[in-house]
Structure 1
């Protein structure tokens, strides 16, 4: 297979938090043990990356650096000792650690001589060098649009349901937040078919979308919502899944479960914020737990999740509602921040 290795490539670089990313030309480095050079086809935008770019993760000690942690692409070259993937293979790129060598982060050089930091996986660039344990071979029956989301949103959101919540047909479930992770959780809930699925979001359009997919009830966030739900569901919910990204939404989800219920949250509130819970509720039996990537194992769960969802009849815009070029990435971040997109994708081909 004749695949050429470029001397350089374009990448979106975060040079200062809460400022626009800059497109810079990066030199293609020599590959060390465990490195995989990938030509990116598509990369997804995630709220976690938005918070990092906007400075909501606290002090950033690695500026300037590359971003992006979910994508799909083709392997162009591999460093020594890489056995998991081969040149020419289509792969899923994600932040969850799978099998293979963990190389840690690396440092690129721009054409102008600037050092650019990067973690074990980045995707906002035409090409990228990633750690072997952050790539997963992608079967032909998984589409590119699905493969991108298998890098972050789907293993986290759908994984919460598949690996942690595991609802039964008798369960009542409330889902708070309908971003990429929340919608992914909803899709897997529809697969498990609990008797009640209540969705909550600030955006009425997202609530309408969720109800069209099969959610049984939908409510907009307001100050009286907890009282409304307590009247409609006085026993409380068996499972609450929180994906809205606010401490207040985690607290709301916890309040809505019954005394034998579970609250599982995957959101990342701004750095330094704390949740407040009634300790007596914990004594009475309520449980709360966080979710690290939905408890998903990339080597076994990504393809399983992808195939489950591809067998469902779903609107394509649920996976990709807006597409952007790399040079338009700052507009994509702005649209994501103001809630104007369901799912944004950066396309390189």
Structure 2
């Protein structure tokens, strides 16, 4: 399966405690539909922050591995796997595509303890992934940028491309400019909106949104952005809004700026377990619409190539979405920086990819 006898990976052992780098994890035998991947890069998003901080409630799978977006190379495949083969370069994603759903995996730790994992994990030198969580890496996509295809890009851009599909000349607001929000904004620029409005609490992200094509930006802490957006639209509100802050309050406020009679809010937020949103039902009667989006309704085997093509055309400047680069040893620093909004997306470099691979 591998020339290595064991490998190292990040493990969440206790909620609200630092993640631990566990050395000497044993490779399991591959089951039907499973694939062993050598990981080059992983991405870190707010889902991992929520898991580590216990914001999703009780976690019955502790201890377990983490990470749901990455890039790597297939080392070995289990029975029935036909989608990928040893030597293939792949995108690892939590969004299910074609192929076997092989479920999770159990590893043996250095002392024989069981370490759980889901259908895909990426915070380790190697991982066993379900076949349907892998897509061959599109040509022209570097391994580091490829991690964005695993979560942020298909979710954020997918909300626009698959869920909203705005008409040319529409008005659109993006509330929250993390990896998902900024990806939604980038995708929205390809539809030539009349107004593309960005809202965030970090001025650096607002500046980036302006560079990417936002026509108006509002600082969430300083501007009366709801009133400003309504004023920009002659009191009507925007045709479409994307909310990606992870805060229930911001979902409610984003709902306030969509127009009656068909205005739509789509959100991909993960508020803390137990949080609820409160809306005036009369606004729904007036024709406002709200819905959540699961991974931007993306189909990885189809959409990754579409997104890669937009990148190759120069219409998705992905390089600026990645902030600092971290390692497995500094992953807790990456968690803190992401939690404190210092970065858009953390890149975890795990091993050196092939020099000539793009």
TM range (shorter): over 0.9
TM-score, L = length of structure 1: 0.96
Match of 2:226 in 1: 226
Q: Is the 8 A contact 1:242 1:250 kept in 2?
A: yes
> Is 2:50 the counterpart of 1:51?
yes
Q: Is the 8 A contact 2:145 2:318 kept in 1?
A: no
Match of 1:343 in 2: 345
CA distance in 2, matches of 1:132, 1:315: 29
CA distance in 1, matches of 2:245, 2:21: 30
Backbone CA RMSD of aligned residues: 1.4
Partner SS state of residue 157, structure 1: helix
Matches for 1:260-279 after TM superposition, within 5 Å: 260-279=262-281
Uncovered stretches (5+) of structure 1, i.e. residues with no partner:
none
Match of 1:246 in 2: 247
Matches for 1:302-321 after TM superposition, within 5 Å: 302-312=304-314, 317-321=319-323
Match of 2:76 in 1: 77
TM-score, L = length of structure 2: 0.94
Partner SS state of residue 308, structure 2: helix
Count of matched residue positions in the alignment of Structure 1 and Structure 2? 347
> Is 2:173 the counterpart of 1:188?
no
Q: Deviations over 1:175-205 (max 9, x none)?
A: 1000000011111111122111000001011
CA drift of 1:313 comes to 5.6
Match of 2:11 in 1: 13
CA distance in 2, matches of 1:27, 1:341: 34
Q: Is the 8 A contact 2:138 2:304 kept in 1?
A: no
Out of 233-242 and 141-150, give the one that drifted further: 141-150
> Is 2:36 the counterpart of 1:34?
no
Uncovered stretches (5+) of structure 2, i.e. residues with no partner:
353-358
Q: Deviations over 1:78-104 (max 9, x none)?
A: 011111100000001000111111111
Partner SS state of residue 173, structure 1: strand
Match of 2:329 in 1: 327
- Of 276, 284, 290 in structure 1, the residue corresponding to residue 292 of structure 2 is 290
CA drift of 1:317 comes to 4.3
Q: Is the 8 A contact 1:44 1:344 kept in 2?
A: yes
Match of 1:95 in 2: 94
Change (3 A) 1:80 1:5: farther
Q: Is the 8 A contact 2:177 2:205 kept in 1?
A: yes
Partner SS state of residue 257, structure 1: coil
CA distance in 1, matches of 2:287, 2:323: 40
CA distance in 1, matches of 2:224, 2:139: 48
Match of 1:215 in 2: 214
Out of 125-134 and 215-224, give the one that drifted further: 215-224
Moved over 3 A (4+): 313-317
